[in-house]
Amino acid sequence: MSFESPPIPDLDSAAIAGARERQDRLTKPAGSLGRLEEMSIALAGMTGRLDPSLAHRVVFTLAADHGVALEGVSAYPREVTAQMVLNFLHGGAAINVLARLFNARVVVADLGVDADLSAHPQLHQLKVRRGTSSITRGPAMSEEEAMLAIEHGRRLVADEAGRGLDVVLTGDMGIGNTTASAALICALIDIEPREVVGRGTGVDDEGLERKRAAVRQALEVNRAAAGAGPLETLAALGGFEIAGLAGVIIEAAARRRPVLIDGFISGAAALVASRLAPGTTRFMIASHRSQELGHVAVLRHLGLRPLLDLDLRLGEGTGAVLALPILDAAAAILNQMATFDSAGVAERSIAEKDTPVT
């Protein structure tokens, strides 16, 4: 089985050149706004516009359970996944608070929670199955299931595009998903579990050892699939929400939407997306550097430099939402600042005039 990617567009080089040129005419020393300038140029390249709208920003918070969670790899019981989905729907979770603050919509989807969740107008019921199988004993899911989860993610983005969608943000919920993500990352970038497996929601030393052992065992048990193509690897070691997020990222990139990648779980999904559809990395923005061990390796591998470093390790999309003001600032600087000409500010430097007064 193989995944057929939609075409991923190139960046718009004319828009990039236009944004660069405009940055250099603004009333500030060239380069003095650092990453804001970079981001304004990147946004122009992604969207094809110097003044992209960033008004419609949607966090896709996808939830699912993990078979491996029953093996003592998390500090929280498995029921918390469903409980947190309800918390999202009631607006009481961190992602809700931050999304309200920074004007983002939260799309909550059940890709595979191990509970019968009641219908709710804000809940997308896209359950592939009630939790994956444990990756320590075999593949997490079938390739068909992986494909279905990816398609669900893509469909969510397509639907939101009909409501207005300028920036896509990724988010996750799933007790046990740092374990699955760590296994996936180890398989995809050929790195050792001890460099990737972290404390997740906060396991103690014994829990961490169980988690490392689970990842080692998962890689051993799924060796054949993990060494095959990205879809096989995803099916062997992933999670339904991770597969769904890969779909979200792929569809967003296909539609030229900038994608703010959240933390460790979203990083694993981004890695999967980059293998299934390599051009997607052009549309990725790393929102933050997570506290979770191994996230740095993922970002390095994707060639992404995070915007924020706030010791976050929550997920849900919280880090992605926190980076929105930086995107807003980047776009505003490019479009609202005065130029040297319009403001009557001297542009030439002493060095250029070659007349130091000393």
Please give the Cα distance from 53 to 248 (Å, whole number).
20
User: Considering only 83-91, 139-147, 228-236, 239-247, which stretch makes contact with its own copies by CB under 8 A?
Assistant: 83-91
Tell me which residue has tokens 């960046």. 11
Q: Is there a catalytic annotation at residue 145?
A: no
Q: Which stretch binds its own copies (CB under 8 A): 11-19, 57-65, 113-121, 319-327?
A: 319-327
Q: Which is nearer to its own copies, 75 or 161 (CB)?
A: 75
Token pair of 74 as six digits: 């998390």
Q: Is residue 80 involved in binding its own copies (CB under 8 A)? A: yes
Residue type, position 163, single letter: R
Cβ pair 328, 56 in contact under 8 A: no
d(CA 200, CA 154): 27
State the minimum distance, in angstroms, from the CB of residue 82 to its own copies.
Answer: 10
Q: What minimum distance in Å lies between the beta carbon of 6 and its own copies?
A: 33
Residue 118 interacts with its own copies (CB under 8 A): yes or no: no
**With binding defined as CB under 8 A, does residue 342 bind its own copies?**
yes
CA dihedral 245, 251, 257, 262 (to 10 degrees): 10
336 near its own copies (CB under 8 A):
yes
Q: If binding is defined by CB under 8 A, does position 97 make contact with its own copies?
A: yes
Q: Which stretch binds its own copies (CB under 8 A): 97-105, 109-117, 184-192, 254-262?
A: 97-105
Nearer to its own copies, 25 or 49 (CB): 25
CB of 209 to its own copies, least distance (A): 11
Which residue's entry shows tokens 């293998």? Answer: 275
CB 121 within 8 A of CB 212: no
Q: H-type helices in 118-161, by residue range?
A: 143-161
Write the CB contacts of 49 (distance below 8 Å, at least 6 apart in sequence): 15
Q: CB 123 → its own copies: shortest distance, Å?
A: 16
Sign of CA dihedral 265, 79, 128, 254: negative
Residue 147 or 268: the one with the smaller Cβ distance to its own copies is 268
87 lies in the binding site for its own copies (CB under 8 A): yes
- Active-site annotation holder among 143, 232, 241, 316: 316
Return the amino acid letter for 337: M
Q: In whole angstroms, what separates CA 257 from the centre of its chain?
A: 13
275 versus 288: smaller Cβ distance to its own copies: 288
- Tell me how far, at minimum, the Cβ of 284 lies from its own copies, in Å: 18
Q: Looking only at residues 205 through 224 of this chain, which bind its own copies when binding is defined by CB under 8 A? A: 206-207, 210
Q: Which of 9, 20, 75, 142 binds its own copies (CB under 8 A)?
A: 75
Tokens matching residue 255: 């539609």
Select 202 or 278, whichever has its Cβ closest to its own copies.
202
> Residue 326 interacts with its own copies (CB under 8 A)?
yes
The residue count for binding its own copies (CB under 8 A) is 73
Containing 62, the helix (H) or strand (E) segment is strand 57-64
Instruction: Fill in the per-residue mask, 174 to 203: x = in contact with its own copies (CB under 8 A), - = not in contact.
Output: ---------------------------xxx
**Residue 138 makes contact with its own copies by CB under 8 A:** no
- Sketch the per residue contact string, 17 through 36, with its own copies: x for CB under 8 A, - otherwise: ---------xxxxxxxxxxx
> Is the separation of the CB atoms in 316 and 263 below 8 Å?
no
Write the CA distances from 267 to 169, 212, 217, 259, 312, integer angstroms: 12, 19, 22, 12, 14
213 CA to centre of own chain: 27
To the nearest whole angstrom, how small is the minimum distance from the Cβ of residue 260 to its own copies?
A: 14
Taking CB under 8 A as the rule, does residue 278 contact its own copies? no
Minimum separation from the CB atom of position 222 to its own copies (A):
19
Distance from C-alpha of 174 to C-alpha of 305, rounded to nearest angstrom: 26
Nearest residue (CB) to its own copies, 228 versus 310: 310
CA angle 323, 326, 328 (to 5 degrees): 115
Sign of CA dihedral 242, 61, 46, 330: negative
Catalytic residues: 316
